[in-house]
Structure 1
Amino acid sequence: MNTVSSPREVATAAADRLYYSRGIQAVSMDELRAETGLSLKKLYALFPSKEAIVLAVLHSRHEQWSAGLERAAATATTPRERVLSIYDYLLECFVSDDYRGCGFVNAFGELGATVPAVAEAARAQKVGFQGYVGKLVAAAGAPAELAPMLVLLAEGAQTTAAICGTPDAARSARAAAEALLDGARAA
């Protein structure tokens, strides 16, 4: 069980919940104060700006995302299954009652044009995911050009699941990934 104990962890977790459910710009520092039980003075001592809190949330989300992918991959027994585990992890995310899409895409959509650090954090997460998928693809013996295609399937599935409110996109993306892997093997 992951316990949140430090005031910084409490504030980051609360900000994540509020930002993800309502949007970053819709949440005031006063609402964050009420959610955490921390004083505004304490919040500003922990995070000198709202941008700093957003970046802490994105850092936390990146850690959660990476851990989830690794956990899913650890259950796979073959390199091919490790690639497909990405979509199994997405399905796990999509069945959550509060799934609202990729937190990085959401943050980029809200703040990417006006807060360069948020845009860079979102880009870094996407580049990191592409690198992760590239390593899985290489381990599976598939051509490197398959990795960006598989990433697009995962990214599209996240957006579709958020908009449509169903987990079906993970299943469809997994089936498409299987077809791409099989096609690469046959070629």
Structure 2
Amino acid sequence: MSATARERPLTPAGRRVLDVAAALFYERGIGQVGMELIAAEAGVTKKTVYDRFGSKEALILAYLRTRDERWRAFLNERLAAADDPRDRILATFDAIGEWLRTNGSRGCSMVNACAEVPDPGHPVHLTAAEQKAWLRGLYVELATEAGYDDPASLADRLIVLHEGAVVMFSVGRMAHATDTARDTADLLLR
């Protein structure tokens, strides 16, 4: 998406398009959803979709960024509720469990999009990599605040637990995956 398109506030029709596209992309996959379907479901013309977003790729990136913004806000609310730095680390696992139960039956939207777009240089992969780097950075920050000796190494372990829990919840159908990851993180933090 161009910087101009990203900076422009969404019109009500543009918001509807993005909301519809987000639901369809997440539930059906980005390759299974065409612009015609998005336009029809949003109650707009295909021209309106292209006028606002420019291309399907730009709409996909807007979807991924918007979903990531929602996740970050959700996670930050849960982190703000935990006082102890160690508890803040564990709160990330509580948050991902809650998120998956309410917003994520198909797992991570970033991983799902990358699975559909094989080119590692594609903007979808770059967007996903930015999101994962942010999460790893958050774990480094939390581990540093909690006073652990090697925050970067601990962050690597925590993000692997986090991402593994997401996969096992959605693909492995392990309803308690995030609880297991939290318990494992708790052991790691002792």
Q: Please, what TM-score do these two structures have when normalized by structure 2?
A: 0.89
Please point out which of 156, 162, 168 is paired with 1:154: 162
Q: Secondary structure at the match of 1:77?
A: coil
In structure 2, how many angstroms separate the alpha carbons of the residues matched to 1:71 and 1:167?
23
8 A Cα contact 1:83 1:137, kept in partner:
yes
Contact 1:154 1:173 in 2 (8 A): yes
% identical equivalent positions: 35
**Who is 2:102 aligned against?**
96
1:4-32 superposed Cα distances (whole Å, 9 cap, x missing partner): 96222221111110010000000011110
What are the ranges of 5 or more consecutive residues in structure 2 without an aligned counterpart? 1-9
Shift of 1:164: 2.9
Cα 1:5–1:45 change in 2 (3 A) is closer
Indicate the RMSD between aligned Cα atoms, in angstroms. Answer: 1.6
Contact 1:100-1:162 at 8 Å conserved across structures = yes
> Is the CA contact (8 Å cut-off) linking 1:58 and 1:104 kept in structure 2?
yes
**Where in structure 1 are there 5+ consecutive unaligned residues?**
183-187
AA aligned to 2:30 is I
Scaled by the length of structure 1, the TM-score of the pair is 0.90
* One-letter amino acid of the structure 2 residue matched with residue 85 of structure 1: A
Q: 1:115 to 1:51 in 2, by over 3 A?
A: farther
1:91·1:167 contact (CA, 8 Å) conserved in 2?
Answer: no
Q: Does 1:64 align with 2:64?
A: no
State the aligned residue count: 179
Amino acid of the structure 2 residue aligned with 1:95 = R
Contact 1:112 1:118 in 2 (8 A): no
Could you tell me whether the CA contact under 8 Å between 1:21 and 1:98 is conserved in 2? no
